[in-house]
Structure 1
Amino acid sequence: MHTVDTKGHLCPEPLIMARNAMKEVKEGEKMLVISDNETSYQNLMSFLSDLGANPVADQKEGQYFIEITKPAETSSGKEGNPEAYCNIPHNMPEDSNYVVVARGANMGEGDEELGSLLIRGYFNALKGMDNLPTHIIMYNGGVKLALKDTDTSESLAELEDKGVSIIVCGTCIDYYQIKEKVSVGRISNMYQIATKLAEAGHVVYL
Protein backbone atom coordinates (compact mmCIF):
# COMPACT_ATOMS: atom_id res chain seq x y z
CA MET A 1 0.00 0.00 0.00
CA HIS A 2 1.31 3.45 -0.94
CA THR A 3 2.15 5.43 2.24
CA VAL A 4 2.41 9.20 2.69
CA ASP A 5 4.24 10.28 5.87
CA THR A 6 3.23 13.87 6.69
CA LYS A 7 4.67 13.92 10.24
CA GLY A 8 6.34 17.21 11.10
CA HIS A 9 4.56 19.15 8.35
CA LEU A 10 2.05 21.94 8.90
CA CYS A 11 -1.05 22.75 6.85
CA PRO A 12 -1.37 22.95 3.90
CA GLU A 13 1.68 20.72 3.30
CA PRO A 14 0.10 17.42 4.50
CA LEU A 15 -2.90 18.03 2.24
CA ILE A 16 -0.72 18.86 -0.74
CA MET A 17 1.42 15.76 -0.09
CA ALA A 18 -1.68 13.56 0.05
CA ARG A 19 -3.15 15.12 -3.08
CA ASN A 20 0.08 14.70 -5.05
CA ALA A 21 0.53 11.11 -3.88
CA MET A 22 -3.04 10.31 -4.93
CA LYS A 23 -2.05 11.14 -8.50
CA GLU A 24 0.45 8.27 -8.41
CA VAL A 25 -2.06 5.52 -7.62
CA LYS A 26 -4.81 4.05 -9.75
CA GLU A 27 -8.52 4.58 -9.27
CA GLY A 28 -9.84 2.27 -6.54
CA GLU A 29 -6.41 1.64 -5.00
CA LYS A 30 -5.89 2.22 -1.29
CA MET A 31 -3.36 4.58 0.23
CA LEU A 32 -2.22 5.34 3.80
CA VAL A 33 -1.64 8.88 5.10
CA ILE A 34 0.15 9.33 8.45
CA SER A 35 -0.08 12.48 10.59
CA ASP A 36 1.28 13.36 14.02
CA ASN A 37 -0.94 16.25 15.15
CA GLU A 38 -4.63 16.82 15.73
CA THR A 39 -4.98 19.88 13.49
CA SER A 40 -3.41 18.25 10.44
CA TYR A 41 -5.46 15.12 11.07
CA GLN A 42 -8.75 17.06 11.17
CA ASN A 43 -7.82 19.05 8.05
CA LEU A 44 -6.82 15.88 6.21
CA MET A 45 -10.07 14.14 7.11
CA SER A 46 -12.17 17.07 5.83
CA PHE A 47 -10.10 17.47 2.68
CA LEU A 48 -10.03 13.77 1.81
CA SER A 49 -13.73 13.36 2.56
CA ASP A 50 -14.60 16.20 0.20
CA LEU A 51 -12.48 14.54 -2.48
CA GLY A 52 -14.58 11.41 -2.09
CA ALA A 53 -11.63 9.32 -0.85
CA ASN A 54 -13.65 7.75 2.04
CA PRO A 55 -10.99 8.22 4.76
CA VAL A 56 -10.98 5.73 7.64
CA ALA A 57 -8.77 6.77 10.57
CA ASP A 58 -7.03 4.99 13.41
CA GLN A 59 -4.93 6.50 16.21
CA LYS A 60 -1.92 4.80 17.80
CA GLU A 61 0.65 6.28 20.17
CA GLY A 62 -0.06 9.87 19.21
CA GLN A 63 -0.09 9.24 15.47
CA TYR A 64 -3.02 9.20 13.07
CA PHE A 65 -3.26 6.60 10.31
CA ILE A 66 -5.76 7.46 7.58
CA GLU A 67 -6.59 4.83 4.97
CA ILE A 68 -8.16 6.20 1.80
CA THR A 69 -9.32 4.91 -1.58
CA LYS A 70 -8.62 6.91 -4.71
CA PRO A 71 -11.98 7.96 -6.19
CA ALA A 72 -12.86 8.32 -9.84
CA GLU A 73 -13.42 12.06 -9.39
CA THR A 74 -9.76 12.69 -8.52
CA SER A 75 -8.51 10.85 -11.59
CA SER A 76 -10.75 13.03 -13.73
CA GLY A 77 -9.24 16.23 -12.42
CA LYS A 78 -11.05 16.97 -9.13
CA GLU A 79 -8.12 17.86 -6.90
CA GLY A 80 -9.53 20.33 -4.38
CA ASN A 81 -7.87 23.36 -2.82
CA PRO A 82 -5.73 22.42 0.22
CA GLU A 83 -5.30 26.03 1.37
CA ALA A 84 -9.04 26.42 1.90
CA TYR A 85 -8.93 23.76 4.66
CA CYS A 86 -6.27 25.54 6.74
CA ASN A 87 -7.19 28.04 9.41
CA ILE A 88 -4.95 31.05 9.93
CA PRO A 89 -3.46 30.95 13.47
CA HIS A 90 -5.23 33.30 15.89
CA ASN A 91 -1.94 34.94 16.88
CA MET A 92 -1.06 35.84 13.29
CA PRO A 93 -1.30 39.58 12.51
CA GLU A 94 -4.36 40.43 10.43
CA ASP A 95 -2.20 41.91 7.68
CA SER A 96 -0.49 38.52 7.29
CA ASN A 97 -3.77 37.32 5.80
CA TYR A 98 -3.35 39.09 2.50
CA VAL A 99 -4.48 38.73 -1.09
CA VAL A 100 -2.58 39.71 -4.25
CA VAL A 101 -4.60 41.11 -7.16
CA ALA A 102 -3.26 41.24 -10.72
CA ARG A 103 -5.37 43.71 -12.68
CA GLY A 104 -3.31 43.47 -15.86
CA ALA A 105 -0.54 41.53 -17.54
CA ASN A 106 1.95 44.25 -16.56
CA MET A 107 3.00 45.74 -13.23
CA GLY A 108 2.44 49.46 -12.79
CA GLU A 109 1.87 52.11 -15.42
CA GLY A 110 4.21 53.25 -18.18
CA ASP A 111 6.30 51.14 -20.53
CA GLU A 112 4.58 47.79 -21.22
CA GLU A 113 7.82 45.86 -21.77
CA LEU A 114 9.16 47.09 -18.43
CA GLY A 115 5.85 46.30 -16.75
CA SER A 116 5.98 42.75 -18.12
CA LEU A 117 9.49 42.27 -16.73
CA LEU A 118 8.44 43.66 -13.35
CA ILE A 119 5.43 41.38 -12.91
CA ARG A 120 7.45 38.29 -13.85
CA GLY A 121 10.08 39.35 -11.33
CA TYR A 122 7.41 39.90 -8.67
CA PHE A 123 5.97 36.39 -8.89
CA ASN A 124 9.45 34.86 -9.04
CA ALA A 125 10.32 36.73 -5.82
CA LEU A 126 6.98 35.97 -4.18
CA LYS A 127 7.38 32.20 -4.40
CA GLY A 128 10.53 32.44 -2.27
CA MET A 129 8.90 34.42 0.55
CA ASP A 130 7.87 32.96 3.90
CA ASN A 131 4.72 35.07 4.21
CA LEU A 132 2.72 33.99 1.17
CA PRO A 133 -0.69 35.40 0.25
CA THR A 134 -3.76 33.26 0.86
CA HIS A 135 -5.01 34.03 -2.67
CA ILE A 136 -3.85 35.49 -5.96
CA ILE A 137 -6.76 36.93 -7.90
CA MET A 138 -6.48 37.78 -11.59
CA TYR A 139 -9.01 39.78 -13.57
CA ASN A 140 -9.18 41.84 -16.77
CA GLY A 141 -5.80 41.55 -18.55
CA GLY A 142 -4.34 39.89 -15.46
CA VAL A 143 -5.90 36.57 -16.49
CA LYS A 144 -3.29 36.33 -19.27
CA LEU A 145 -0.66 35.67 -16.59
CA ALA A 146 -2.21 32.20 -16.11
CA LEU A 147 -1.87 31.12 -19.74
CA LYS A 148 0.22 28.08 -20.65
CA ASP A 149 3.81 28.51 -21.85
CA THR A 150 4.31 31.78 -19.95
CA ASP A 151 6.94 32.49 -17.30
CA THR A 152 4.26 33.74 -14.91
CA SER A 153 2.16 30.57 -15.18
CA GLU A 154 5.16 28.51 -14.05
CA SER A 155 5.66 30.71 -10.98
CA LEU A 156 1.92 30.67 -10.25
CA ALA A 157 1.89 26.87 -10.43
CA GLU A 158 4.71 26.72 -7.86
CA LEU A 159 2.79 29.09 -5.59
CA GLU A 160 -0.33 26.94 -5.98
CA ASP A 161 1.68 23.87 -4.95
CA LYS A 162 2.69 25.79 -1.81
CA GLY A 163 -0.96 26.31 -0.90
CA VAL A 164 -1.76 29.67 -2.46
CA SER A 165 -5.23 29.67 -4.04
CA ILE A 166 -5.11 31.03 -7.60
CA ILE A 167 -8.41 32.55 -8.76
CA VAL A 168 -9.00 33.51 -12.40
CA CYS A 169 -11.96 35.67 -13.48
CA GLY A 170 -14.31 33.57 -15.63
CA THR A 171 -15.98 36.56 -17.28
CA CYS A 172 -12.56 37.86 -18.33
CA ILE A 173 -11.52 34.46 -19.70
CA ASP A 174 -14.69 34.32 -21.79
CA TYR A 175 -14.23 37.91 -22.99
CA TYR A 176 -10.70 37.22 -24.25
CA GLN A 177 -11.77 33.75 -25.50
CA ILE A 178 -8.74 32.05 -23.91
CA LYS A 179 -10.34 29.43 -21.66
CA GLU A 180 -8.53 26.52 -23.35
CA LYS A 181 -5.18 28.27 -22.82
CA VAL A 182 -5.47 28.67 -19.03
CA SER A 183 -3.00 26.31 -17.35
CA VAL A 184 -3.14 27.24 -13.66
CA GLY A 185 -5.70 28.33 -11.10
CA ARG A 186 -9.43 27.99 -10.60
CA ILE A 187 -11.82 29.85 -12.90
CA SER A 188 -14.31 31.68 -10.70
CA ASN A 189 -17.05 34.30 -10.75
CA MET A 190 -17.16 37.89 -9.52
CA TYR A 191 -19.19 37.04 -6.42
CA GLN A 192 -16.47 34.72 -5.17
CA ILE A 193 -13.78 37.25 -6.05
CA ALA A 194 -15.65 39.98 -4.15
CA THR A 195 -16.02 37.66 -1.16
CA LYS A 196 -12.29 36.87 -1.00
CA LEU A 197 -11.40 40.56 -1.25
CA ALA A 198 -13.82 41.43 1.56
CA GLU A 199 -12.40 38.69 3.80
CA ALA A 200 -8.76 39.65 3.26
CA GLY A 201 -6.82 41.39 5.99
CA HIS A 202 -4.89 43.30 3.35
CA VAL A 203 -4.99 43.52 -0.47
CA VAL A 204 -1.91 44.08 -2.66
CA TYR A 205 -2.81 45.47 -6.09
CA LEU A 206 -0.27 45.05 -8.89
Structure 2
Amino acid sequence: MYTIDTKGHLCPEPLIMASNGLKEVKEGEKVLIISDNETSYQNLMSFLTDLGANPVASKKGYEYHIEATKPAKSSPQAENNPEQYCSVPGGAAPATDYVVVARSSRMGEGDPELGDLLVRGYLNALKGMDHLPTYIIMYNGGVKLSLEGTDTALALGELEDKGVSIIVCGTCVDYYKVKDKVSVGRISNMYQIATILAEAGHVVYL
Protein backbone atom coordinates (compact mmCIF):
# COMPACT_ATOMS: atom_id res chain seq x y z
CA MET A 1 0.00 0.00 0.00
CA TYR A 2 1.29 3.45 -0.91
CA THR A 3 2.30 5.17 2.35
CA ILE A 4 2.31 8.90 3.04
CA ASP A 5 4.28 9.61 6.22
CA THR A 6 3.42 13.07 7.56
CA LYS A 7 5.04 12.67 10.99
CA GLY A 8 6.97 15.73 12.09
CA HIS A 9 5.13 18.04 9.69
CA LEU A 10 2.84 20.85 10.74
CA CYS A 11 -0.27 22.12 8.97
CA PRO A 12 -0.76 22.60 6.04
CA GLU A 13 2.06 20.23 4.99
CA PRO A 14 0.26 16.95 5.94
CA LEU A 15 -2.76 18.02 3.88
CA ILE A 16 -0.64 18.87 0.86
CA MET A 17 1.33 15.62 1.20
CA ALA A 18 -1.91 13.61 1.36
CA SER A 19 -3.34 15.41 -1.67
CA ASN A 20 -0.17 14.87 -3.71
CA GLY A 21 0.11 11.25 -2.59
CA LEU A 22 -3.39 10.40 -3.78
CA LYS A 23 -2.45 11.72 -7.21
CA GLU A 24 0.26 9.04 -7.39
CA VAL A 25 -2.15 6.08 -7.25
CA LYS A 26 -4.89 4.79 -9.52
CA GLU A 27 -8.62 5.14 -8.97
CA GLY A 28 -9.83 2.70 -6.31
CA GLU A 29 -6.36 2.11 -4.84
CA LYS A 30 -5.79 2.64 -1.14
CA VAL A 31 -3.14 4.76 0.53
CA LEU A 32 -1.97 4.80 4.14
CA ILE A 33 -1.47 8.22 5.70
CA ILE A 34 0.42 8.39 9.00
CA SER A 35 0.22 11.35 11.38
CA ASP A 36 1.67 11.90 14.83
CA ASN A 37 -0.59 14.59 16.27
CA GLU A 38 -4.32 14.90 16.78
CA THR A 39 -4.74 18.25 15.04
CA SER A 40 -3.25 16.98 11.78
CA TYR A 41 -5.27 13.77 12.10
CA GLN A 42 -8.55 15.67 12.46
CA ASN A 43 -7.69 18.00 9.58
CA LEU A 44 -6.77 15.05 7.36
CA MET A 45 -10.02 13.25 8.19
CA SER A 46 -12.07 16.33 7.26
CA PHE A 47 -10.17 16.80 4.02
CA LEU A 48 -10.34 13.14 2.97
CA THR A 49 -14.04 12.89 3.81
CA ASP A 50 -14.90 15.93 1.71
CA LEU A 51 -12.64 14.63 -1.05
CA GLY A 52 -14.70 11.42 -1.17
CA ALA A 53 -11.79 9.18 -0.18
CA ASN A 54 -13.73 7.27 2.52
CA PRO A 55 -11.05 7.50 5.24
CA VAL A 56 -10.84 4.78 7.90
CA ALA A 57 -8.72 5.64 10.93
CA SER A 58 -6.98 3.72 13.69
CA LYS A 59 -4.45 4.62 16.36
CA LYS A 60 -1.23 2.68 16.86
CA GLY A 61 0.77 3.94 19.81
CA TYR A 62 1.38 7.63 19.27
CA GLU A 63 0.58 7.38 15.55
CA TYR A 64 -2.70 7.92 13.72
CA HIS A 65 -3.11 5.65 10.68
CA ILE A 66 -5.64 6.63 8.02
CA GLU A 67 -6.51 4.39 5.08
CA ALA A 68 -8.05 6.30 2.20
CA THR A 69 -9.24 5.23 -1.25
CA LYS A 70 -8.66 7.35 -4.34
CA PRO A 71 -12.15 8.26 -5.51
CA ALA A 72 -13.37 8.05 -9.09
CA LYS A 73 -14.43 11.66 -8.85
CA SER A 74 -12.95 14.03 -6.30
CA SER A 75 -14.49 17.19 -4.94
CA PRO A 76 -12.75 19.99 -6.91
CA GLN A 77 -13.07 22.38 -3.98
CA ALA A 78 -11.23 19.99 -1.67
CA GLU A 79 -8.72 18.74 -4.25
CA ASN A 80 -7.66 22.20 -5.40
CA ASN A 81 -7.32 23.76 -1.97
CA PRO A 82 -6.37 21.25 0.76
CA GLU A 83 -4.89 24.11 2.83
CA GLN A 84 -8.40 25.28 3.70
CA TYR A 85 -8.69 22.30 6.08
CA CYS A 86 -5.86 23.58 8.24
CA SER A 87 -8.15 24.35 11.15
CA VAL A 88 -9.76 22.86 14.23
CA PRO A 89 -12.93 20.86 13.39
CA GLY A 90 -16.23 22.40 14.39
CA GLY A 91 -15.62 25.79 12.85
CA ALA A 92 -13.49 27.18 15.66
CA ALA A 93 -10.53 29.33 14.78
CA PRO A 94 -7.38 27.21 14.75
CA ALA A 95 -5.10 27.54 17.73
CA THR A 96 -1.40 27.88 17.05
CA ASP A 97 0.53 24.63 17.18
CA TYR A 98 3.16 24.77 19.87
CA VAL A 99 6.03 22.68 21.17
CA VAL A 100 7.15 22.28 24.79
CA VAL A 101 10.88 21.86 25.39
CA ALA A 102 12.31 20.46 28.63
CA ARG A 103 16.00 21.31 28.89
CA SER A 104 16.29 20.11 32.48
CA SER A 105 14.62 17.65 34.82
CA ARG A 106 13.49 20.68 36.83
CA MET A 107 11.50 23.79 36.02
CA GLY A 108 13.22 27.13 36.42
CA GLU A 109 16.24 28.04 38.49
CA GLY A 110 16.69 28.19 42.24
CA ASP A 111 15.79 25.55 44.79
CA PRO A 112 16.06 22.02 43.25
CA GLU A 113 13.15 20.60 45.26
CA LEU A 114 10.92 23.45 44.15
CA GLY A 115 12.04 22.90 40.55
CA ASP A 116 11.07 19.22 40.78
CA LEU A 117 7.68 20.15 42.22
CA LEU A 118 7.04 22.75 39.53
CA VAL A 119 7.81 20.49 36.58
CA ARG A 120 5.53 17.76 37.94
CA GLY A 121 2.81 20.34 38.48
CA TYR A 122 3.23 21.72 34.97
CA LEU A 123 2.92 18.33 33.27
CA ASN A 124 -0.12 17.41 35.36
CA ALA A 125 -1.74 20.76 34.55
CA LEU A 126 -0.98 20.27 30.86
CA LYS A 127 -2.97 17.02 30.85
CA GLY A 128 -6.15 18.93 31.61
CA MET A 129 -5.75 21.56 28.91
CA ASP A 130 -7.87 21.57 25.76
CA HIS A 131 -5.06 22.91 23.59
CA LEU A 132 -2.20 20.44 23.95
CA PRO A 133 1.26 20.82 22.45
CA THR A 134 2.06 19.00 19.25
CA TYR A 135 5.36 17.79 20.71
CA ILE A 136 7.17 17.65 24.02
CA ILE A 137 10.91 17.55 23.36
CA MET A 138 13.42 16.58 26.03
CA TYR A 139 17.13 17.12 25.73
CA ASN A 140 20.11 17.45 28.07
CA GLY A 141 18.90 16.82 31.65
CA GLY A 142 15.29 16.98 30.46
CA VAL A 143 15.53 13.38 29.23
CA LYS A 144 15.43 12.27 32.88
CA LEU A 145 11.73 13.20 32.94
CA SER A 146 11.08 10.18 30.71
CA LEU A 147 12.73 7.57 32.92
CA GLU A 148 10.80 4.62 34.30
CA GLY A 149 9.56 4.90 37.86
CA THR A 150 9.16 8.69 37.80
CA ASP A 151 5.94 10.66 38.24
CA THR A 152 6.89 12.74 35.24
CA ALA A 153 7.11 9.68 32.98
CA LEU A 154 3.58 8.70 34.02
CA ALA A 155 2.30 12.19 33.19
CA LEU A 156 4.13 12.15 29.86
CA GLY A 157 2.59 8.77 29.09
CA GLU A 158 -0.90 10.18 29.64
CA LEU A 159 -0.09 13.12 27.36
CA GLU A 160 1.19 10.70 24.74
CA ASP A 161 -2.11 8.81 24.95
CA LYS A 162 -3.87 12.11 24.23
CA GLY A 163 -1.91 12.50 20.99
CA VAL A 164 1.14 14.49 22.08
CA SER A 165 4.36 13.25 20.47
CA ILE A 166 7.10 12.77 23.06
CA ILE A 167 10.61 13.17 21.64
CA VAL A 168 13.69 12.14 23.64
CA CYS A 169 17.20 13.19 22.58
CA GLY A 170 19.21 10.08 21.67
CA THR A 171 22.61 11.70 22.18
CA CYS A 172 21.52 12.80 25.65
CA VAL A 173 20.29 9.41 26.88
CA ASP A 174 23.54 7.88 25.63
CA TYR A 175 25.55 10.55 27.46
CA TYR A 176 23.69 9.97 30.73
CA LYS A 177 23.71 6.17 30.13
CA VAL A 178 19.95 5.90 30.69
CA LYS A 179 18.77 4.68 27.28
CA ASP A 180 17.44 1.41 28.70
CA LYS A 181 15.44 3.31 31.34
CA VAL A 182 13.45 5.54 28.96
CA SER A 183 9.83 4.44 29.41
CA VAL A 184 7.87 6.92 27.30
CA GLY A 185 8.18 8.61 23.93
CA ARG A 186 10.55 7.84 21.12
CA ILE A 187 14.27 8.39 21.03
CA SER A 188 15.23 10.67 18.17
CA ASN A 189 18.15 12.65 16.77
CA MET A 190 19.06 16.31 16.77
CA TYR A 191 18.18 16.72 13.10
CA GLN A 192 14.54 15.88 13.77
CA ILE A 193 14.50 18.03 16.89
CA ALA A 194 15.92 20.97 14.91
CA THR A 195 13.31 20.44 12.19
CA ILE A 196 10.42 20.35 14.66
CA LEU A 197 11.60 23.53 16.39
CA ALA A 198 12.10 25.32 13.07
CA GLU A 199 8.56 24.50 11.95
CA ALA A 200 6.81 25.10 15.28
CA GLY A 201 4.29 27.90 15.53
CA HIS A 202 5.46 28.62 19.08
CA VAL A 203 7.98 27.07 21.46
CA VAL A 204 7.59 26.95 25.26
CA TYR A 205 10.84 26.36 27.16
CA LEU A 206 10.64 24.97 30.69
TM-score, normalised with respect to structure 1: 0.60
Q: Write out per-residue CA displacement over residues 160-183 of structure 1, whole angstroms, 9 at most, x where no aligned residue.
A: 011000000000000000011000
Task: Give the one of 42, 46, 58 matched to 2:33.
Answer: 46
Equivalent residues in 2 for 1:102-121, closer than 5 Å:
102-121=102-121
Asked if structure 1 preserves the Cα contact closer than 8 Å seen for 2:57 and 2:64, the reply is no
Question: Could you tell me which residue of structure 2 aligns to residue 156 of structure 1?
Answer: 156
Aligned to 1:40: none
Shift of 1:92: 1.4
Q: 1:88 to 1:160 in 2, by over 3 A?
A: farther
Structure 1: unaligned runs, 5 residues or longer: 1-43, 49-58, 69-77
Are the aligned partners of 2:147 and 2:183 in contact in 1 as well (CA < 8 Å)? yes
CA distances 1:46-103 after superposition (whole Å, capped 9, x unpaired): 249xxxxxxxxxx9xx9x58599xxxxxxxxx846239xxx8527514xx20000000
RMSD in angstroms over aligned alpha carbons? 3.2
Could you say which residue in structure 2 is the equivalent of 1:134? 134
Over residues 133-181 of structure 1, what are the superposed CA-to-partner deviations in whole Å (9 max), with x where a residue is unaligned?
Answer: 0000000000000000100000100000110000000000000000110
Query: Which one-letter code corresponds to 1:158 in the other structure?
Result: E
Aligned counterpart, 1:23: none
- Equivalent in the alignment of 1:181: 181
TM-score by length of 2: 0.60
Question: How many matched pairs?
Answer: 139
| 1:88 and 1:97 in contact (8 A); partners too | no
Runs of 5+ in structure 2 lacking a partner?
A: 1-30, 36-48, 66-84
Question: Aligned residue for 1:165?
Answer: 165
Question: Kindly tell me: are residues 121 and 203 of structure 1, through their superposed partners in 2, closer, same or farther at Cα, counting changes over 3 Å?
Answer: same
For the 8 Å contact 2:62–2:165, the answer to whether it is kept is no
The residue number in structure 1 matching 2:195 is 195
**Residue in structure 1 matching 2:87, options 89, 112, 128:** 89
Q: Is the 8 A contact 1:104 1:139 kept in 2?
A: yes
Q: Which runs of 4+ in 1 moved over 3 A?
A: 64-68
Q: Contact 1:135–1:167 at 8 Å: present in 2 too? A: yes
Q: In structure 2, what is the Cα distance between the partners aligned to 1:82 and 1:65?
A: 12
Amino acid at match of 1:46: I
Structure 2 CA distance for aligned equivalents of residues 193 and 88 of structure 1:
23
